[in-house]
Amino acid sequence: MSNSAKKRKRRTIFYWTCLIIFTAALFVAVFMFLGIVGQFANAYEASMPDYAVDEYMNGLNETGWNNSMNIAASGMTNDFQSPEACVEIVKGTLQGDFTKVKAAGGNDNTTNYSIQNNGKTIGTFSITRDLDAKTEFSMLEKYVDLHPWKLSGDAYDFSYLLKSVEETVPATYTVKLNGTEIGEEYITEKDIHYDVLDDYYEEYPNLPTKVTYKVENLVGDVSVEILDDSGEPYEIDWTQDDSQFMTPCSQAELAELQIFADEFVEAYQYFFGTKNIDWTYPNLLQYVKQDSKMFELMCAQVDSGTAYIHYDNIVFNRKVFNGAFSLGGGFYVIDETVESTTTGASTYKTVHETTELKVIVVKEGDQILAVNVA
């Protein structure tokens, strides 16, 4: 091979060697540039607030629950609901996706958001620019702020789920919430009169009363159970009056009380409606307890003389025993309706009347005596 040919071959090898080196260097430079551009793009994306917001919301929607929710829900515990129960109740109310709404406040470095679920605002979170973070392109900070945003805090409030339970029951009854008995510390009102006994409390202070229990800050629905004096479940019928709580009379007691009521009402109306006091007074007195309101009323009528509504005649057309209930301590309330026809002493005018009497009686041994009439 000639010298010129050898020189051309060396030049060709050198050319291709340089070209390959240049090309490789160019590829390296391009890849380095692209890597730097990618790093810059990532840093720039992270410097956008939406990056931190989306990261938080995506994580929340993927799990459906987070530690801040757990803290808020378990903090709602009370005497009748454990932290675990509160957490499960709150979890059960959350439906569908969580959404965000930008909230008021904030500044160039802080942004606030509200968190909503099923149309309700359940919490808040804030993001802040991390000015302490070191960026890979610090030399560009004078042109663009590449500090990333991060979660600065979140909090949840499930108070919209809170409710209260209020029950008014006889003082001797028991009320349970979720199987736990409500203690006296939850009584908000005592000594509530039975509506059917309201006229009798002044004379009989030991009559049964009711109390009102009120428990607040309960989470979601709770189980309420009312137990009567015997510890048996009791369902209050709010369409009825308080006679539903009264101790029922036995059939034997009702039979005795009805006989008394039928005889008493006749003696009572004869005494207050006719002239013959010499007969009507002792006739009524046999059914009345002395040193009672009923006895005082009889004496006042005798002393007044003119207080009588005089009739020549009274005819009892119909007597209806409406029932009786016990007040305790041997006292009973008898309910009797009387239909009568009276004839005036001077006018001889006939009047048909229907009267309902509620008679308080006391049973002393085998004897039943009236103590008051309402």
The CA-based dihedral angle spanning residues 263, 266, 271, 273, taken in that order and rounded to the nearest 10 degrees? 170
* Sheet-wide strand order for 110-117: 98-102, 110-117, 120-129, 149-156
In the predicted structure, residue 299 carries a pLDDT above the cut 70 = yes
Per-residue confidence at 66, pLDDT binned at 50, 70, 90? Answer: very high
Q: Shortest CA distance to 166 belongs to which of 226, 231, 228?
A: 226
| Residue 271: per-residue pLDDT | 87
Q: Please report, rounded to a whole number, the percentage of residues in the chain having pLDDT higher than 70.
A: 80
50-54, 331-335, 343-347: range with lowest mean pLDDT:
343-347
pLDDT at 67 over 60: yes
Q: Residue 4's pLDDT is what?
A: 64
pLDDT for 16: 54
What does the chain come to in residues?
A: 374
Are 115 and 100 within 8 A, CB to CB?
Answer: yes
Q: What are phi and psi of 34, to 5 degrees?
A: -65, -35
DSSP 96: S
Is the confidence at residue 251, as pLDDT, over 80?
Answer: yes
Q: Would you say 288 and 295 are in contact if contact means Cβ atoms under 8 Å apart?
A: yes
Q: How confident is the model at residue 267 (pLDDT cuts 50, 70, 90)?
A: very high
How many whole angstroms separate alpha carbon 312 and alpha carbon 282?
19
Distance (Å, whole) CA 62 – CA 73: 19
For residue 184, give the amino acid letter: E
| Listed range (39-48, 110-119, 149-158, 353-362) with the worst mean pLDDT | 39-48
- pLDDT surpassing 60 at residue 28: no
Residue of 243, 70, 69, 251 lying closest to 170 (CA atoms): 243
With 70 as the cut, is the pLDDT of residue 94 above it?
Answer: yes
CA pair distance 266, 280, nearest whole angstrom = 10
Domain ranges of the chain: 47-157, 163-240, 251-373
8 A C-beta contact, residue 127 and residue 147:
no
Selected from 3.40.50.1100, 3.40.50.300, 3.10.450.50, 3.90.1150.10, the CATH number assigned to the domain covering 251-373 reads: 3.10.450.50
DSSP string, 178-204: TTEEPPGGGEEEEEEEPGGGTTTTTT-
Does residue 322 register a pLDDT over 80?
yes
- Non-local (6+) Cβ contacts of 134 within 8 A are none
Among 162-171, 225-234, 265-274, which stretch is predicted with the lowest mean pLDDT? 265-274
Both tokens assigned to 73? 């829900």
Banded pLDDT at 335 (limits 50, 70, 90): very high
Return the ∠ at Cα 134 (arms to 129 and 140), rounded to 5°. 90
What is the average pLDDT value for the chain, to the nearest integer? 83
**One-character DSSP codes across 112-154:** EEEEEETTEEEEEEEEEE-TTSPPTTGGGTTT---PPEEEEEE
Q: Residues 114-150: pLDDT tens digits? A: 999 999 999 999 999 887 666 554 544 544 556 788 8
Q: Are residues 313 and 345 in contact, defined by beta-carbon separation less than 8 angstroms?
A: no
